[in-house]
Amino acid sequence: MKRKAFKSSAATVAAAIMVAGATSATAGNLDEPIAEVTPVAPVVVPVVQTNDWTGGYVGGSLGYADVSEDADAFDDDGVTYGVHGGYDYDFGSFVLGGELEVSGFDVADAGIDVDSVTRAKIRAGYDAGQFLPYVTAGIAQLNTGAGFDGDDTGAVYGVGLDYAYTDNIRVGGEILQHEFDDFDGAGLDLDATTASVRVAYEF
C-alpha cells in the first residue's frame, strides 16, 4: 500500500512539473516581440483616355481665304464657307482617312470672282486620345466667274486638328495651301491660303 501511494505521489509531482514547464514556455512565447506589418499603399495606375476615330462624318466650315496671283494681277481676301464629308480608320496610334469638301468663296478682284473650291484629300494623323492632329494633301478644283469664267485643277496641302467634343461631335480647324499653275490656260498662277473652323457629326 505504501509503495502504491508513493508511486501515485510521484506521478502527481511529475504531472505538476510538466504543467508548470508548459505554462512557462507559453508565457515565454507571449513575451517575444511581435513583428509589425507595414501597410503597402496601392499602386495608382494612370488612366490613359483613348478615343476611336474610326467612322464616317459630315459637317460644315466657316473661315477666311487669301487669294493672290504671282504677278500681282489678282490679290484679295474674304470669307469662305462649305460642307465636307469623309471617313477615318483608326489603326491604334495612326489614323488614315479620306475627305471630300466643297467651299464657297466671297473673294473678288480685278473683275475676277473666285466662286468655289472643290477638294479631294487624304488625311494622316496621330491618335492623341480626344485630339487628332493631322496632315492632309490632295487635289483641288478652283472655279471663277464674272469677268473671267473658268476652272482648273491644282494641288492642295495643309495641317489640321480635330477634337472629339462628344462621341458624335467633332470640332476643329484646318489651314490649307492651294496652288494653280497657269490657271485655265490664262497664264495666271493663282495661290490660295485658307483657314477654317470646322464642326462635324460622326456616325
3-state secondary structure (DSSP) of residue 191: strand
Q: What is the pLDDT of residue 7?
A: 45
> CA 2 → CA 6, 8, 9, 10, 11, distances in Å?
6, 10, 10, 12, 14
Residue type, position 133, single letter = P
Q: Which of 27-31, 54-58, 85-89, 117-121 has the lowest mean pLDDT?
A: 27-31
Provide the phi-psi class of 115: left if phi over 0, else alpha when psi is between -120 and 50, else beta: alpha
Q: What is the pLDDT of residue 161?
A: 98
Q: What is the pLDDT of residue 27?
A: 46
- The pTM for the full model equals 0.75
Q: What is the pLDDT of residue 145?
A: 87
